[in-house]
Structure 1
Amino acid sequence: MQPITFGSFLVTFLSASMAAGSAIPNAISTSGSFEIKRTENKGFTGRNGPLALARAYAKYGVPVSKTLTEAIELVKSTQLVKRGGSGNVTATPDGDDLQYLVPVEIGTPPQKLNLDFDTGSSDLWVFSSETDSSSSQGHDVYDPSKSTSSKKLDGATWNITYGDQSSSSGDVYTDVVTVGSLTVKTQAVESAQQVSAQFASGHNDGLVGLAFSSINTVTPTPQKTWFDNIVGSLDSPLFVADLRHETPGSYIFGAVPSAASNILYAPIDNSKGFWQFSTSSDIGGEFDAIADTGTTLILAGDDLAKAYYQKVQGARLDPVQGGYVFGCNTTLPDFKFTVGEGAITVPGSLVNYAPAGNGECFGGIQPSGGLPFTILGDIALKAAHVIFDSGKTQIGWAQKK
């Protein structure tokens, strides 16, 4: 992984004169709000639609079928890059289908890792010196023995198991974790000892969970998320996801940027630990939805996905690809969903996710596989500034122009 000093890492204070928020013992802040730019994942070589769908299914416990697994390998096999007369080399897609990551510093002196900010989970876990070398190859790792501030949390373990039985697990340390201008002095850092192939084949060095701490998987005592630890040092108890299409975008902590105007708000039901709210669509009725930066696609109820693609000429549910496909030159309709008293529009251009071969493309909206809620992943989040407001237990969406 490319270190921060050679990447596009940038922390921007939203206002140079902004006073620091009220401090809490575990956090050190140099600003009451800050913006952190995501960096390009240098290991990302292409989008794999079936892979993105399988990853989302696995995350939420939906069984990943043999057909979908075969579709992933089919896409990989067609992604061959020809370089003149030098032969063929395989361009293997990122196992986590993540094009942009966030640089994070852990330990004393700082160890730099590139992590995925995930509002659909609540664990901060990383590849580490304890991870089997065959699994950690190609990753930057956290080595607690090289940090003077690390302390093992005796008896604490963690285990994340997905619906396809892939998993990651290990032990837990507390250490200094810095993102942007704010440091948590004793953040729980979950050190991976066992990592499934799903994660090992990816290029991110771990995850920063930004859902609610109630679903943290550390036992016997769940740990607070990084955000919950720093929230008292922010000017406002919120963060904003400003994700963008084919450019890194950023996360803003402690303030709502001026570019976010005409914000629509909806109350959050956090009883399951997610950023979940009630919404509706004119093509699918009312339903619950989760805003998840750690999922690429929109996973909609089967009827809602079917209703959307009924509006797309030639679209079909392809058993070989494991999802809906359509002609790549097709102009897709917008997808709209309500937030409070208004609605957000996801441009059809964002729904055209990835080439699927033979002139067809894989859709960014796919069936949820029976989940009791819709997942609004990056396809939807890129259409708006999304405000995750823990102070008022609400979520805001501000349409991008």
Structure 2
Amino acid sequence: MTDTDYLDSQVRVLIGTPPQPIDLTLNLGGALFAVWSSDCLYCPGTTPFDMSSSSTLDPNNAPWSGNSDDGSGTWYHDSVSLGGILTNSDIDFVSLQSMSTHFDPRLLNGVLGLSVDPPQAKYPNVLTKMWDAGTLMNPVVGMRLDPLKPRLTIGALDPEDYVGEINWVETGSGGSVLSPFKIDGLKGYNGSFIPFGVDNLVTSISSLLANIYVPPSNPYALDRGYTGPVHSINLYPEGGFAFGCNFTATQILSMPDVFLTVTINGVDYPMYDMIRLPSVFAANGFCNVALMNTTAADDVDVVLGLPFLRSVYLAYRFPTDNCPGYYGFAFPSGANRTQDQINQKPTSTPSSSSQCLALSQPTSTPSVSSLSPDSNKNKKGTGAFEVYGGDGEQVPLLDAEDLKRVVWNKTLS
């Protein structure tokens, strides 16, 4: 990870008729479902949504009431499919016509918000719409954003994605932060809690932030009991710090370890990817650490960004009429975790577990209906094609009819 890379996770969504495949940026801290229009000013990405090509697009004629400093857009609804499996013909989303050059982060192509708004929201979240329509088996999403095996499972939790017991905690509602929850604290190298002066830290999760935010970072940076054996530390006046690291212009010789653990409901989750590669944003001879300060504008004590999400398996049981929301935490399968870590048990179990967390397990792999082979080879967005050397194997190929046909007429002698 570096200070300048786009680190956001992308999810392929099919929108409109015929379906347009668009890789949207995943946002776990918001509920907005938005795409960039094909003529959007200052919108980054390579696959905007061409509204003129969808025969089922229906405008709501309502302006998007987001922050005017972020951009301007309009509400629409159309057919939306997640992975070609979960499809709903009437999903609300925003088409953004312009974006501020100061909007941060610079989301690619659009955004798929998976946090669920309160039930009284004017335009329900895509997950709520699909749950209300009876499309989902369970009101739950399971995900792993680690580089080893990034996956998003909607409507069920895949037991092959995680190991150990899922540690469920209830999320709150209301206020400017969606799905806040409480953690026990954060631990450093010596295994003791870092003294942030607040018990049961109110926490949020963000898949758009490349750092962990705490109140503040200096108690960690200034105590070798928490940092562990590092050669040197460089503190930044605006918050944050860097560890000394050894590198040349062409080769990284050594990178320091960052010891930071998030404790949730009695279970310790060590974080990885906490050190940044050398960059122009760090002093010469130093590598930035992904630990920054929260501010009053964050409305929470701690924000857990990508270093946390790349280190755990996360389940999100979104709120429905009879149940609040829950986050569930476990360890990614196949990752380098000790058996002692995997065997940890949560301190407590949510009181409504039997009602709200009794999830059904699928008994078979769902079929990809929107991308399945079709006998009508001229139908937009479908068609089965043989794989070279595949012994008759066929695969669906999106928009194959748009590829230029090649006629091989060369005679070999």
- TM-score under structure 1 length normalisation: 0.67
Please state how far the C-alpha of 1:200 moved relative to its aligned partner: 9.6
- SS of the counterpart of 1:244? coil
Mapped to 2, the partners of 1:200 and 1:307 lie a distance apart of: 28
The whole-number CA distance in structure 2 between the counterparts of 1:215 and 1:116 is 24
Which residue pairs with 1:55 in the alignment?
Answer: none
Contact in 2 for aligned 1:122/1:212 (Cα 8 Å): yes
- 1:242-261 matches, within 5 Å, as 242-245=144-147, 247=148, 249-258=150-159, 259-260=161-162, 261=164
Task: Indicate which of 215, 230, 239 corresponds to 1:301.
Answer: 215
1:298 and 1:215 map into 2 onto residues whose CA distance is 30
Match of 2:259 in 1: 334
CA contact (8 A) 1:298 1:366 kept: yes
Q: In 2, Cα distance between the equivalents of 1:174 and 1:248?
A: 32
Structure-2 residue corresponding to 1:211: 115
Matching residue of 2:234: 316
Percent identical across equivalent pairs?
21
Q: How many residues align?
A: 294
The one-character-per-residue Cα deviations of 1:313-349 (angstroms, maximum 9, x if unpaired) are: 3223224x863111234533422222223232214xx
Larger proportion of helix: 1
Determine which structure has greater relative contact order: mean sequence separation of CA pairs < 8 Å that are 6+ residues apart, divided by chain length: 1
- Structure 2 counterpart of 1:223: 123
Candidates 13, 17, 21, aligned match of 1:104:
13
In structure 1, the residue corresponding to 2:165 is in which secondary structure? coil
- The question of whether the paired residues in 2 share the 8 Å contact of 1:297 and 1:366 is answered with yes
How many angstroms apart in 2 are the aligned matches of 1:139 and 1:351? 29
The equivalent of 1:3 in structure 2 is none
Q: Kindly tell me: are residues 290 and 127 of structure 1, through their superposed partners in 2, closer, same or farther at Cα, counting changes over 3 Å? A: same
Runs of 4+ displaced beyond 3 Å:
198-203
Shift of 1:253: 1.2
Q: Which residue of 2 aligns with 1:155?
A: 62
When the two chains are superposed, the root-mean-square deviation of aligned CA atoms in Å is 2.6
- Structure 2 residues not aligned, in runs of 5+: 186-192, 246-253, 338-413
Q: Structure 1, residues 354-401: CA drift from partner, whole Å, max 9, x if none?
A: 323523111111111333331111111111101111255211110342
Q: Which residue of 1 aligns with 2:49?
A: 142
Q: 1:396 corresponds to which residue?
A: 328
CA–CA distance in structure 2, aligned partners of residues 333 and 203 of structure 1: 28
* 2:136 maps to amino acid: L
The structure where strand makes up a greater share of residues is 1
Q: Is contact 2:63–2:74 with CA below 8 Å preserved after alignment?
A: yes
**Aligned counterpart in structure 2 of residue 236 of structure 1, from 138, 141, 158:** 138
Give the match for residue 355 of structure 1.
278
Unpaired segments of 5 or more residues in structure 1? 1-45, 49-92
Alpha-carbon distance between aligned partners in 2 of 1:200 and 1:300, rounded to the nearest angstrom: 20
State the structure with more CA Rg.
Answer: 2
2: CA distance, partners of 1:307 / 1:201: 28
Report if aligned partners of 1:345, 1:399 keep a CA contact under 8 Å in 2: no
Partner-residue secondary structure (3-state), 2:220? helix
Letter in 2 for 1:169: S
The match for 2:182 among 278, 301, 304 is 278
Task: Give the structure 2 partner of residue 60 of structure 1.
Answer: none
Contact 1:335 1:346 in 2 (8 A): yes
User: What whole-Å deviation, never above 9, does each CA across 1:11-40 have from its counterpart, x for those lacking one?
Assistant: xxxxxxxxxxxxxxxxxxxxxxxxxxxxxx
Aligned to 2:32, which of 123, 127, 130? 123
Determine the C-alpha separation between the residues in 1 that align with 2:97 and 2:114.
22
